[in-house]
Structure 1
């Protein structure tokens, strides 16, 4: 049956309102499920006709397209599935992997994440692969781990809590993740694996599922249950399954050496009970002929470096250019609006105090809408970045996404003219890589982040600077009658301020230092007013008059 005919029949059956089971009978192996997930629904629509071709990206986390890029070099195609990994070390680089997941999703890829978890009985995280991930756990510790409220159970949930901010971020950006935790549950080499039965590996999978989905309320996870193709697979699919209510996709890892046998295919179809099946990971990739013979595999994910050591370039080219294998350019896209919509800094002109030598992390990369790119400064304090919004806006929210080289102490300032600055936010002691400041009410055309103390030995590195607000459509400019004069200038103990006749009683006077910090505020009671300056340090200051949208600023010096 051709793909176009299948789509026509699918649309007709949906219009008739037939249930999914009726559709399954009409189109063998292609039952359409109306799930909350765009990506999962897509797997149902391609069953029996196409398979998404993918590749995993493990270490290094700070280069999260390392193997995807290699595959594109060999085949000229970008994999339709992008795989990432929370791993067991290099936790500081997890955000870079998450930003790539968002980028791949926005470009139309199917996104899947794996987690090589450390052993909670050892209470060491991060850990090494050889002594942590591939380790053992006593039966007593296992019982403790899978019993609610015990010390190990609580520790496991605390480790799950460490993953929650990453999923929450992706959820806020509209990204769906096919998550494959505790993979290869029948693999005894992993501390979580090789425990059959209802109180074994399946139970920990259920606990993980319930904690993240029910307790923590994550709604963007497509749950992938996974086992390996051991000779015991026909019984393993039952001994290790958490139950169909606990997974959306059943996947199989192929490492046994005999490929896509019919027995493995039948075993996975049986345990999936109508849900999509997939090849979770493999070194030797399936052939085009094998996928035609077993068309219900919805995706395959080649395992990183094994793709290039266990397959020839000719075989890779033939597979990823086959008509029944989908690459990213053939994916439909997910129809998600650009989450940067409304960001006033997006692709606006930007200037910086410095750029890190030799790295290519230029200023424009901080406002390009891509959180996998960044601006980085020289390794010194202070540094600043200034964005011209192009018009005056009433700004209510700022967001900064830092790279690991974050700002510890900094200010966010606004200006009407790129000369006179008002501080909107002052931060000290920051250690977060995502900083969001809302419920503000400041007006300006220019936005500056002024870093005064770095959080690391490196410079300041911003992945994305965002500002949100509304255009100021009606403001009153200062007329000749709204002049300000101040003397003596330089001032000593006092500063006399004379206001033009159109500055009424109630006008606000604000004194700012040269970094935009407010050092004094006064309400005008008469046309001539004297301000105290004796306690002010010597230096350059700004005096601003404001009344009902009109503003005027002059400079004076305190000697």
Structure 2
């Protein structure tokens, strides 16, 4: 967010400890192996290249407005796509999150900011002026960062509002560079400008621990961020939450002196070998400045300021520079098909009612922008036929705004006897996930008993996942067992048949909609099927003899 009018002091000299920390940073490894592929990539380009990016602020229902405008101006798509949970327009957050998934699939680095409302005011959503930019008393602040208080609990409740979005992105394999409580040394924000161990950094630590440790969100790259005030050399120490609490240290540039060497060295010092980035700015750096300060791993231009503070020629020169990475130059995240392993993907669905044109098939089509919706009455049912009996482990539901408040999840092998997997009451979340199902079934049913709105039940996507392995034996006879592994598979699939299958058994690989891809009829109880030339996605493997037929799902990575 752009800086506010501030009287800047003369820049202070870099303190002596800075030199020592810089020496430590210079000796730090140039790469790292973390569980996050996007963070590993930042390590790999540090000192070599910088990802160019742009923020997409409100309206959230146009989540590529500024990205598209930059492409129109330069002919290049930014390698970083940024957006914001914001402080209003909460109904459009899902559209923004679905765009984040799309950008990740296209290979962009995804970063999200959050302009949180003031919990002491207990108003959310709120206005920017007087809400995001507001003050908090010292007493309220102490309560906020103290476990067990009303304000502390309220803050965690507000964090809970973000959890379903991150859970959904995690379920789809998307990593997010998250920048909460940005510009922690900026006193115009209610969370900022409080130095010391119980100040702004304490709230950042609480936020980090709650989302990462309590809620288990392992798909976040934690970005700690401050602004380039003249006090930066001491601010980096006074406001840093500590090395255990951030993955990337970023700086916002709004002071008129731009990318000075002192600022660069101060950020290198506090990062101590971790990646550094330019969190936001209006006047973009030149390619020459990035060449002189090569450790900046990305920059994010702030929405409209990119076009008011830079000429077209400057933007074109920057985005065509050899040391600035655009989307087409990003390596991609080796992102698996988001529907890989989803046993419900494009399977037959039956429902109790339909509100046209939102057909039943849209609940399992793999496209979260489509949906099934029922008529406006309770109860309603949706049943998915997985096509074979599988050991089930995990199920997710992405609702449209018309959420199911009370519902049951049931499973069956024959559509006659049903086992209750979960009974849910009082649901308000638009994203539900249910691990540890520990059941075996061919049919999965959602039975809604109470709607959360005056509308029907409306599901964007229902996904069901099974364990690594195999469809269950088609009969009680172990001799007719079929195993296919690994599943998901990359280049080759091994199919092992029980002794009851004759040598002439035919294997047929089909698309998920039933079109034949290849047929294999060579003799033997174990066959190795080549998959390298196939597109990633869901396939069906049909095993057929003169007297037996069995079908199971295969995922090609």
1:219 aligns with 2:218: yes
On the 8 A contact 2:371/2:400 being kept in 1, the answer is no
Q: 1:409 to 1:320 in 2, by over 3 A?
A: same
Deviation at 1:272, TM superposition (A): 2.0
Counterpart Cα distance in 2 of 1:429 and 1:110: 36
Deviation at 1:289, TM superposition (A): 2.3
- CA-to-aligned-CA distance 1:144-190 (integer Å, 9 cap, x gap): 33334443333333333433343344344433322212111111110
Task: Note the 1:136-215 alignment, pairs <5 A.
Answer: 136-215=135-214
Task: Note the 1:266-281 alignment, pairs <5 A.
Answer: 266-281=265-280
Give the structure 2 partner of residue 240 of structure 1: 239
Deviation at 1:395, TM superposition (A): 7.7
Counterpart Cα distance in 2 of 1:144 and 1:22: 37
Give the structure 2 partner of residue 296 of structure 1: 295
On the 8 A contact 1:61/1:96 being kept in 2, the answer is yes
Give the structure 1 partner of residue 78 of structure 2: 79
- CA-to-aligned-CA distance 1:345-394 (integer Å, 9 cap, x gap): 3245779976767xxx77765434343x12355875598878776x4545
On the 8 A contact 2:361/2:372 being kept in 1, the answer is no
1:434 aligns with 2:431: yes
TM-score (norm 1): 0.68
On the 8 A contact 2:362/2:372 being kept in 1, the answer is no
Give the structure 2 partner of residue 39 of structure 1: 38
Counterpart Cα distance in 2 of 1:407 and 1:149: 31
Counterpart Cα distance in 2 of 1:408 and 1:145: 31
Give the structure 1 partner of residue 55 of structure 2: 56
- CA-to-aligned-CA distance 1:28-51 (integer Å, 9 cap, x gap): x97223333322221111012111
TM-score (norm 2): 0.68
146-155 or 228-237, larger mean C-alpha shift: 146-155
Return the structure number with greater relative CO, CA threshold 8 A, min gap 6: 2
Q: 1:416 to 1:123 in 2, by over 3 A?
A: closer
Larger radius of gyration, structure 1 or 2?
A: 1
Counterpart Cα distance in 2 of 1:23 and 1:233: 18
Deviation at 1:138, TM superposition (A): 1.8
Secondary structure class of the residue paired with 2:474: coil
Secondary structure class of the residue paired with 2:307: helix
Give the structure 1 partner of residue 103 of structure 2: 104
On the 8 A contact 2:164/2:432 being kept in 1, the answer is no
Q: 1:370 to 1:82 in 2, by over 3 A?
A: farther
1:374 aligns with 2:373: no
1:127 aligns with 2:123: no
Counterpart Cα distance in 1 of 2:138 and 2:410: 58
Q: 1:76 to 1:365 in 2, by over 3 A?
A: farther
Q: 1:288 to 1:350 in 2, by over 3 A?
A: farther
Give the structure 2 partner of residue 406 of structure 1: 403
Q: 1:452 to 1:73 in 2, by over 3 A?
A: farther
Q: 1:214 to 1:124 in 2, by over 3 A?
A: same
Q: 1:408 to 1:162 in 2, by over 3 A?
A: closer
Counterpart Cα distance in 1 of 2:401 and 2:150: 32
Give the structure 2 partner of residue 463 of structure 1: 460
Secondary structure class of the residue paired with 2:398: strand
Counterpart Cα distance in 2 of 1:448 and 1:213: 32
Counterpart Cα distance in 2 of 1:408 and 1:148: 31
Deviation at 1:90, TM superposition (A): 3.3
On the 8 A contact 1:413/1:422 being kept in 2, the answer is no
Q: 1:39 to 1:84 in 2, by over 3 A?
A: same
On the 8 A contact 1:356/1:379 being kept in 2, the answer is no
Q: How many residues align?
A: 445
On the 8 A contact 2:107/2:330 being kept in 1, the answer is yes
